[in-house]
Amino acid sequence: MLIKSPELKPSAQQALRSQTISELTPGSLLHDFAALLDFVATRELTATGKQQLLPLAALEELNSQMAQPLNLGLKRAVQKSYPHINGLFLLARATGLLRVVRHDETLLWRLDETALSVWQSLNHTEQYFTLLEAYLYHASVEMIGERGRWLNTLGLLGDCLMVWQRIGEQGIRVPPGKKQDGYINSAWLYHFALLELFGLTHVKPGEAQASTGWSIAEIQQTPFGQALMTLVLICAAESLNRLMEIDLEEEETPPHSFTKLQAQFQAYFPDWQRGFALAKQETFQEGVFQFKVSLGKIWRRIITPATTTLDELSDAILESVNFDNDHLHCFEYKDRFGVTVRVNYDAMEEPPYSSEVRVGELPLAPGSTLKYTFDFGDNWEFQLVLESIAPPDKKLKHARIVESRGKAPQQY
């Protein structure tokens, strides 16, 4: 049974065709996103905490450079206290423009110069819809330090549509004197901020109060927002219907290409000619990888050639603690976008598999971390830190344990 697409009425079509895309229209998205990129380019910003977010000390200054700075009145504001900055940060990570690099012992935020060059060659319309696709099809809540989901990890289309439906054609109003929490879901604040930045909603701010954060009195969908989201729904329905056709397969889009909506949107936005795409960066790193493998307070140092598979690395880790290799395992690491990638034992359902992924294929640099989980019943969790990558050694054929500290626990 095919999904029925919504109708794009003539008035909605006119709202789309008549909309000018600029730095400050239909919302301040492009202005504020440019401010974020410039802020990162001109400062040494550390990637803070396990979630790797912007440093707290930089948030107020960055907020002052937004088109509409927020007056929060908070004594200790964190990144999610500034929902617009949080949303812009999400887009910067999802596009690959913003990434973490290691300098000595410090993790720093840097712009990807290759991606930035492509980004700067785009016109305002192309940039606007690149960011829309980044939001709907490439973003993950992990990028802003929230707990990720194994299913449907990439793309916030479903979440965005849920928030959009909650706003509804009647909008959301917070009656005077009432607590905002009863009307505004605080977990959705970055969604509300992004919808405002894209110009899809109009937000009437409430009175700033100490300790309340972003204060909202009213949220209303704009005519442009209603038209654009209808077109997004039409594209989503067409995509699902193609998947449901037995004899027709969904066309594969390159994983880091931002042109999924382009064909349908060009009729209304002819300036969308060029698409943004990230260059493929899967390169094999030759060399000898040295890992410090920790299990609680004990640790082992293991060296291995780049050609070692993760399954073979698993064998070496288990050998280092005298464990029997008779259970399932998985490795987890963060990719360049800050999203968890899980490499599973071959007997598990979801690829990629540890017997097929080599150490040199992982996007690792000295200081990078991996989590290795063995036996999902007892759940032994090993933390791996890549200490160095030395030149290749032809004599080293397999992973080798070179140093041990601490007595291994009993497996059973």
* Structural tokens at position 1: 């049974």
Domains of the chain: 10-277 (no CATH), 288-405 (3.10.290.30)
Q: Note the maximum CA span of the chain.
A: 75
pLDDT given for residue 160 in this prediction: 97
Structure confidence at residue 251 (pLDDT): 47
Write the DSSP symbol of residue 49. T
Residue 266 burial (CB count, 10 A): 14
Q: Which residues face 305 on adjacent strands?
A: 288
Please provide the DSSP assignment of 164-177 as one string: HHHHTTT-EE--TT
User: In the prediction, which pLDDT does 383 show?
Assistant: 97
Query: Please, what is the Cα angle at 195 between 192 and 197, to 5 degrees?
Result: 110
Q: What SS3 state is found at 329?
A: strand
pLDDT by residue for the chain (412 residues), tens only, comes to 456 778 999 999 999 999 999 999 999 999 999 999 999 999 999 999 888 999 999 999 999 999 999 998 788 899 999 999 999 999 999 999 999 988 877 889 999 999 999 999 999 999 999 999 999 999 999 999 998 654 445 789 999 999 999 999 999 999 988 889 889 999 999 999 999 999 999 999 988 766 678 999 999 999 999 999 999 999 998 877 665 554 444 445 566 889 999 999 999 999 999 999 988 766 899 999 999 999 999 999 999 999 999 999 999 999 999 999 999 999 999 998 999 999 999 999 899 999 999 999 999 988 889 999 999 999 999 999 999 999 999 999 999 999 999 999 999 8
Q: Supply the pLDDT for residue 248.
A: 43
Q: Cβ distance 354 to 332 under 8 Å?
A: no
What sign for the dihedral angle of Cα 301, 307, 309, 310? positive
**Residue partners of 316: CB distance under 8 A and separation at least 6:** 302, 304, 398, 399, 400, 401
DSSP element (H, E) containing 199: none
For residue 354 the two structure tokens come to 């540890």
CB 89 within 8 A of CB 96: no
What number of other Cβ atoms are within 10 A of residue 345's Cβ? 18
- Cα 227 to its chain centre, rounded Å, is 27
Alpha-helical runs (H) found in 211-279: 223-244, 262-265
**201 neighbors 227 (Cβ within 8 angstroms):** no
Strands (E), 236-368: 257-258, 276-277, 288-295, 298-305, 329-334, 340-344
The C-alpha atoms of residue 192 and residue 159 are separated, in whole angstroms, by: 11
pLDDT for 150 equals: 47
pTM: 0.90
Residue 221 is inside which H or E element, if any?
strand 216-221
- What per-residue confidence (pLDDT) applies to 105? 75
The residues, ordered by sequence, that sit 6+ positions from 410 with a Cβ below 8 Å of its Cβ are none
CA angle 283, 276, 222 (to 5 degrees): 140
Q: Which structure tokens are listed for 412?
A: 């059973």
Q: In what order do the strands lie in the sheet with 288-295?
A: 340-344, 329-334, 369-374, 380-390, 288-295, 298-305, 400-405
Helices 29-41 and 83-94: angle between axes, nearest 10 degrees: 70
Q: How far apart are CA 274 and CA 119, in angstroms?
A: 10
Q: Round to whole Å and give the CA distance between 235 and 157.
A: 11
Give backbone dihedrals phi and psi of 137, rounded to 5 degrees, phi first.
-125, -10
pLDDT the model gives residue 2: 56
**Long-range residue pairs from 114-123, CB within 8 A, at least 24 positions apart, any chain:** 114/279, 115/278, 115/279, 116/37, 118/276, 118/277, 119/95, 119/276, 121/274, 122/274, 122/276, 123/271, 123/274
* Separation of alpha carbons 232 and 236, rounded Å: 6
